[in-house]
Chains A and B, each alone.
Chain A
Amino acid sequence: MRNIWIICRRELNSYFTSPIAWLLLTMYSVIFGWIFWNFLAEFIKQGIDMEMMGQASPMNLNEQVIRPLLGTSSFLGLFMIPLISMRLFAEEKRNGTIELLATSPVHDIEIILGKWVAATLLYCWIIVFSSINFVFLFRYGNPDWKPMAVTFLGVFLQGAALLAVGTFISTLTKNQIIAGALTFGACLMLWVFSWVSSYDSSSWAQVFSYMSVITHFDAFDRGVLSTKDAIYYLSVIFLGLFFTARSMESLRWRS
């Protein structure tokens, strides 16, 4: 446990001393802020329009602003995740610092968990940081925080799962660009797997659809806490980290 924290802390430090964390934070805030503003402006315009036409139908901040916004942030995560995870092992392999870690009295799994936790924490920090925008909704409106929390949990789980996949891919190469590109490809594939379900419902299509991260985000997006979908994300995390451990082991046997 202590070793995981030691490695995690170093990893976080390195994210924040190299410009990567700040860069992601800035970019994400700007894009998220822009989208937030757009959704909100549209919501307000709609409200004014309806009032002018004299037909006051009920409007819902949760449904019309928060939900699409968080859906977008899960989509934006797709681009961020490769940038966060690509350096985890690739950089250590290139710099030779992997030799320090691998010859220190720590278990491989502690190294892997430390790195993955650091990446996930950075991801959370970026998401939470941008959520400052929601403070305005709570200040001037009256949204329901419960479905919002569930959607946040979904965004978090999806990110953590894809980061585990990215961690595994990062052990495969010395080259960060290759690791990043492969991770991006993998994330995208896991995303578009769900598309088959729109025209086909045979068993193979169901399998692919089940493998897609997006299929399982649906319930969270609607604000429903679904154990089944949470288990999917947890198993992707487990599988990703398990493969990372095997990959590190094979690194030891082969290199």
Chain B
Amino acid sequence: MITVTDLTKRYARTTAVDHISFSISKGDIVGFLGPNGAGKTTTMRMLTCFFPPTAGKATVAGFDVFEQSLEVRRRIGYLPEAPPLYLEMETIEYLRFVGRLKGLTGDRLEKRVDFVLERCAIADVKAKLLGKLSKGYRQRVGLAQAIIHNPDVLILDEPTAGLDPKQINETRDLIKSLAGDHTIILSTHILPEVEQTCERVIIINKGKLVATDSVHNLQARARGAESVLVEVGARTGEFAIPVVRARLEKITGVSRATLKEEFQNGAVFEVEASKGQLVRGDLARAIVESGWELNELRPAAMSLEEIFLQLTGTDAGAKSADTPPEEAPTPEAPEANA
């Protein structure tokens, strides 16, 4: 659906996007990931024909973004970082305007307007002025205008920025529900968002492509050897940190056990197994047999956060333990949860 080859954008002094190549097939949800200023918006603006690339080539649905710009624009729905709303217009009036601009007329226009009002849950504010809407509603109206002409490709620039957690969830669900009909690219610097909504990730940093893969593969690739977190509690057996650690390390296949956290009558260890060894069963048995409580046992999957920092090399020392993700306190890795 989208093919990008050696796409480059140079401004007067800086190179915002530097020879990026990737391709996206129909129906994919792709997360476009990178720190602020990595070139996400620039890439998206080139794909949406807002400005032409300095060098390289990009095609959407087989049309070149520079040569056949109007054809591309007909097939793209774009939600810029700030929803492009005319604040003095009413919601429905605005959607009709955008619909007409994208080439809809008559019955079809009315049908699509009703459809997006319904789909984006903004029917209750259809007669309100856009300037009076809350941030969450504005974002949804922005999304509604992007899908009004039922485009093949949907390009969303930080669709959840500045929303409260409830609105973020609603917006994510909305985006996921759109996935079937559209190819979606969404950019973000919030990692859990990608983990939750996207199938594939394209990571860029300082204008360069760092990685492109499925979320699952990326996690697997970065994880390497299996590593599990166990929370052990005191019960009948003698409970002392060095004793527990020594016992855990005695299990065959375990290469190392490190204390992660200690509290009254309990402790959390990270147990690393040598590659290819499955140690969870043995671990559980050993703990129970030693007369301790096994409170929790879970794989210490690397969050995208860590992978991201590893790949982009931004401040690798301060890994995720010290830098909580910006938004959700515990990023979950759905595929990796046992």
Are B78 and A253 in contact, CB atoms less than 8 angstroms apart? Answer: no
Min Cβ gap B11→A in Å is 8
Binding site for B on A (CB under 8 A): 3, 6-7, 10, 13-14, 17-18, 95-107, 252-255
- Chain A residues lying within 8 Å of B85, measured Cβ to Cβ, are 95, 97
**Distance from A150 Cβ to chain B, minimum over Cβ atoms (Å):** 37
Query: Cβ of B88 and Cβ of A103 under 8 Å apart?
Result: no
B86 at interface, CB cutoff 8 A: yes
Please, could you name 22 A-B residue pairs with CB atoms under 8 Å apart, sorted by A?
Answer: A3-B101, A10-B89, A10-B97, A14-B88, A17-B89, A95-B85, A95-B87, A96-B82, A99-B45, A99-B78, A99-B84, A100-B80, A100-B84, A100-B98, A103-B48, A103-B50, A103-B76, A104-B98, A105-B70, A253-B51, A253-B52, A254-B12
Q: How far is the CA of A3 from the CA of B76 in the complex (A)?
A: 18
With A14-B89, A17-B88 in contact, do A103 and B101 touch (Cβ < 8 Å)?
no
Q: Provide the main secondary structure of the chain A interface.
A: helix
Whether A105 and B102, one on each chain, are in contact in the complex, defined by CB atoms closer than 8 angstroms, is yes
Q: Which 10 A-B pairs have the closest CB atoms?
A: A100-B84, A97-B84, A105-B73, A103-B48, A96-B82, A252-B51, A99-B80, A105-B74, A104-B101, A6-B100
Contact B97 A6 (CB under 8 A): yes
A96 to B50, CA, bound (A): 12
B103 contacts chain A at the CB level, 8 A cutoff: yes
A14 x B86 contact (CB < 8 A): yes
B145 within 8 A of A: yes
- Assuming A14-B88, A17-B88, is B82 touching A104 (CB within 8 A)? no
User: Does the CB pair B101–A97 fall under 8 Å?
Assistant: no
Shortest C-beta distance, A207 to chain B (Å), equals: 36
Q: Does B194 contact A (CB under 8 A)?
A: no
Known: A10-B97, A103-B73. A96 touches B84 (CB 8 A): yes
B49: Cβ under 8 A from any A Cβ? yes
Q: How far is the CA of A252 from the CA of B52 in the complex (A)?
A: 7
Task: Identify the interface centre among A13, A102, A254: most chain B CB within 10 Å of its CB.
Answer: A102
Of the candidates A10, A102, A104, the one having the most CB atoms from chain B within 10 angstroms of its own CB is: A104
CB pair A13 B89 closer than 8 Å: yes
Chain A residues closer than 8 Å to B82, beta-carbon distance? 95-96
Given A6-B100, A105-B74, A95:B84 Cβ within 8 A: yes
Q: In whole Å, how far is A249's beta carbon from the nearest beta carbon of chain B?
A: 10
Q: Tell me the complex Cα distance, A64–B293, Å.
A: 106
Give A53 to B89 CA distance when docked, in angstroms.
63
A12–B255 Cα distance when bound, in Å, is 73
Known: A13-B93, A105-B73. 8 other contacts (CB 8 A): A95-B82, A95-B86, A96-B81, A100-B101, A104-B101, A105-B70, A105-B101, A107-B70
B79 to chain A, nearest CB (A): 10
**Cα of A6 to Cα of B105 in the assembled complex, Å:** 11
Residues of B within 8 A of A106 (CB): 101
Which A-chain residue is minimally distant from B81 (CB atoms)? A96
Collect the chain B residues with CB atoms within 8 Å of residue A105's CB.
Answer: 70, 73-74, 101-103
Q: How far is the CB of B68 from chain A (nearest CB, A)?
A: 11
Residues of B with C-beta under 8 A to A18: 88
Contacts of B81 in A (CB 8 A): 96
CB distance from A92 to the nearest CB of B (A): 9
Contacts of B52 in A (CB 8 A): 252-253
Query: What residues of chain A lie closer than 8 Å to B73, measured between beta carbons?
Result: 103-105
Q: B49 to A103, Cβ gap below 8 A?
A: yes
Q: Which residue on B lies nearest to A14, using beta carbons? A: B88
A-contact bits for B2-29, CB 8 A (1 contact / 0 none): 0000000001100000000000000000
**Chain B minimum-CB-distance residue to A104:** B101
A37 and B82 alpha carbons, distance in the complex (Å): 50
Q: Are B87 and A99 in contact (CB under 8 A)?
A: no
Which residues from chain B contact A3 at a C-beta distance below 8 Å?
101
Closest to B88 in A: A17
Q: Which residues of A contact B88 (CB under 8 A)?
A: 14, 17-18
The residue in chain A whose Cβ has the minimal distance to the Cβ of B94 is A10
Provided the pairs A252-B52, A253-B51, A253-B52 are in contact, do residues A97 and B102 lie with their beta carbons within 8 angstroms?
no
B 68-126 contacts with A by CB, 8 A:
70, 73-74, 76, 78, 80-89, 93, 97-98, 100-103
B257 to A: closest C-beta gap in Å: 53
CA distance A17 to B74 in the complex (A): 29
The residue in chain B whose Cβ has the minimal distance to the Cβ of A103 is B48
Q: Which of B51, B70, B78, B145 has the most CB of A within 10 A?
A: B51
- Complex: chain A residue closest to B97, CB-CB: A10
Residues of A contacting B12 with CB < 8 Å? 254
Interfacial chain A residues near B101, Cβ < 8 Å:
3, 6-7, 100-101, 104-106
